[in-house]
Amino acid sequence: MAVRPVLRYPDPHLRQISRPIEVFDDELAALAADMKDTMYLAGGAGLAAVQVGALVRLFVIDAEVAGRPADDPPLVLVNPELVSISEEQQTGDEGCLSFPGIFVPVRRGLRVRVRAQDLQGQSFEVEGEGLFARALQHEHDHLSGRLIIDLVGPVKRQIIKRKMRKENEAEAS
């Protein structure tokens, strides 16, 4: 297990489409384990594989966010599909480990149902509401290269771009 570097906007990988996972092997388990460590260290609610440069349909969600005891292992979703999104919506501040320090109000479905596979390839479904539903939709967006910056108006978009440019310059120097 190891912590992997998290790609930051505007890294072009973040815009790519993640491909389905077909092989459920030790390599996949190792990737998921690293993602859990990485999310845990960064204090994130969720992390998609593309954010550590692996273009596969996999994300993890913090146990507490998923409505489980805080010391439970994070929820791992392989090949997740949004089965349904409620018409009822919620608006709340949303962050992303690829946009450190940035929180923007994003409108999402209040409840979602997601079908996925576990690390052994076994299918399961989860239902999320509130923060859990938000995290599921946010991470699912990552699999098709969609980011929080796409979900805000043009003024906020410019502010985020400027902040990220500064952040990345500070990181590089």
In the stretch 13-32, what mask flags binding to Ni ion with x, by CB under 5 A? Answer: --------------------
| CB of residue 52 to Ni ion, shortest distance in Å | 12
Of 70, 43, 55, 73, the C-alpha closest to 12 is 55
Evaluate the CA torsion angle 165, 161, 44, 138 in order and state its sign: negative
Judged by beta carbon, residue 23 or residue 147, the one nearer Ni ion is: 147
Q: Cα angle vertex 30, ends 168, 54, to 5°?
A: 40
Q: What is the number of H-type helices and E-type strands within the chain?
A: 3, 7
Judged by beta carbon, residue 28 or residue 135, the one nearer Ni ion is: 135
| CB of residue 142 to Ni ion, shortest distance in Å | 6
Residue 135 in contact with Ni ion, rule: CB under 5 A: no
Number of residues that bind Ni ion (CB under 5 A): 1
Q: Token match 């005891």: residue?
A: 69
Q: Is 139 a catalytic residue?
A: yes
Judged by beta carbon, residue 66 or residue 96, the one nearer Ni ion is: 96
Q: Among 52, 96, 102, 160, which residue sits at the site for Ni ion (rule: CB under 5 A)?
A: 96
Select which of 139, 167, 169, 171 is catalytic. Answer: 139
Q: Which residues bind Ni ion (CB under 5 A)?
A: 96
